[in-house]
Amino acid sequence: MIETFEKVEDIEIRLLLEALYVRYHYDFRNYAMGSIKRRLRQACEQMGFATISALQEKVLHDETMLPRLLGYLTVQVSEMFRDPSYFRAIREKVVPHLKTYSSLKIWIAGCSCGEEVYSLAILFREEGLEDRTIFYATDINQQALQAAEAGVYDLDRIRLFTENHRKSGGKSSLSDYYNAGYGRVSFDRSLRERVVFSDHSLVTDAVFGEMHLISCRNVMIYFDRPLQDRAVGLFKDSLARKGFLGIGAKESLRFSEHAEGFKEFVREDKIYQRVGI
């Protein structure tokens, strides 16, 4: 009996993801099932649907449901200078290489609400690289992209951001870059002057040319293995010769079919360098 029940839920999930793809061109069909299942159960529970099929009917007929469902299906958890040692490694080991180029392109894939974008923009300003750099910040979640462009965060997160920035080897004070008021902080406009925000999916969209550094952290963990291969392939083809790829602290290219396209550049911090061609 239980067996049958479980299978019905799996069918419902497959159908819902298909519906989302056909109706709205959001493709979650190859995301890691365990997490998707959890998110959809949570969505049903919190929005009051008895079954995933009921949720599907609503989503198909009412497009205002889409952003709400996307809020469940895409996980927006981030911090500025998250894993400070990663940013320290970028600063101390990658930046010296980047300094040898007269112009730089950096891609932050899956930028969420911008925490990682402002972190890198500040780091590049501190290192004197900002003026020669264009940052491409992409995500599939429109609301997250808008939040990223606004650069406004709750004041109670600043203590952690400041601590992380300091641990990352920050050469300035984080408070130099924002104004606080009404329980929020607003990051300096000038930090996003060189940032292009855009809607881009690692699942369905194409390469982004000639990047010197791609930072894609904690995005591919939501994909299944074949889809991870697609994303890493996309990064491989988007990197300039000897370009760098940084991924999340608990992600790895060990299991990727493109593993030979990269060498470990800073092993502990999951920074890789493109090899060949």
Nearer to ligand SAM, 57 or 251 (CB): 251
Q: Is 116 in the site for another protein (CB under 8 A)?
A: no
Distance CA(46)–CA(40), nearest Å, equals 10
Residue 34 interacts with, from another protein, ligand SAM, none (CB under 5-8 Å by kind): another protein
Q: Is 214 in the site for ligand SAM (CB under 6 A)?
A: no
Nearer to another protein, 87 or 178 (CB): 87
Query: Beta-carbon neighbour count of residue 204 at 10 Å?
Result: 12
Q: What values do phi and psi take at 151, rounded to 5?
A: 65, 40
Distance CA(13)–CA(8), nearest Å, equals 9
Q: Is 258 in the site for another protein (CB under 8 A)?
A: no
The CB-based long-range contact list for 127-130 (8 Å cut-off, 24+ gap) reads 127/91, 127/95, 127/99, 127/171, 129/95, 129/98, 129/99, 129/104, 130/194
Q: Is 116 in the site for ligand SAM (CB under 6 A)?
A: yes
Residue 201 interacts with, from another protein, ligand SAM, none (CB under 5-8 Å by kind): ligand SAM
Q: Are strands 262-266 and 211-216 parallel, antiparallel or unpaired?
A: unpaired
Query: Beta-carbon neighbour count of residue 135 at 10 Å?
Result: 25
Q: Number of residues in contact with ligand SAM, rule: CB under 6 A?
A: 23
Q: Is 75 in the site for another protein (CB under 8 A)?
A: yes
26-45: contacts with another protein (CB under 8 A): 32-35, 37-39
Residue 116 interacts with, from another protein, ligand SAM, none (CB under 5-8 Å by kind): ligand SAM
Query: Beta-carbon neighbour count of residue 31 at 10 Å?
Result: 19
Distance CA(155)–CA(222), nearest Å, equals 29
Distance CA(42)–CA(48), nearest Å, equals 10
% helix, strand, coil for the chain, step of 5? 50, 20, 30
What is the chain's alpha carbon radius of gyration, rounded to the nearest angstrom?
20
With CB under 6 A as the contact rule, which of the stretches 36-44, 61-69, 74-82, 86-94 interacts with ligand SAM?
A: 74-82
Distance CA(277)–CA(264), nearest Å, equals 17
3-state secondary structure of 132: helix
Nearer to another protein, 23 or 41 (CB): 41
Q: Give the shortest CB-89-to-another protein separation in angstroms.
A: 16
Q: Is 225 in the site for another protein (CB under 8 A)?
A: yes
Contact residue for another protein among 149, 224, 257, 264 (CB under 8 A) = 224
Nearer to ligand SAM, 81 or 265 (CB): 81
Q: Which residues bind ligand SAM (CB under 6 A)?
A: 74-78, 82, 109-110, 112, 115-116, 139-141, 144, 201-203, 217-219, 222, 248
* Residues within the interface to another protein (CB under 8 A): 2-3, 6, 32-35, 37-39, 75, 77, 218, 220-222, 224-225, 228, 248-252, 254-255
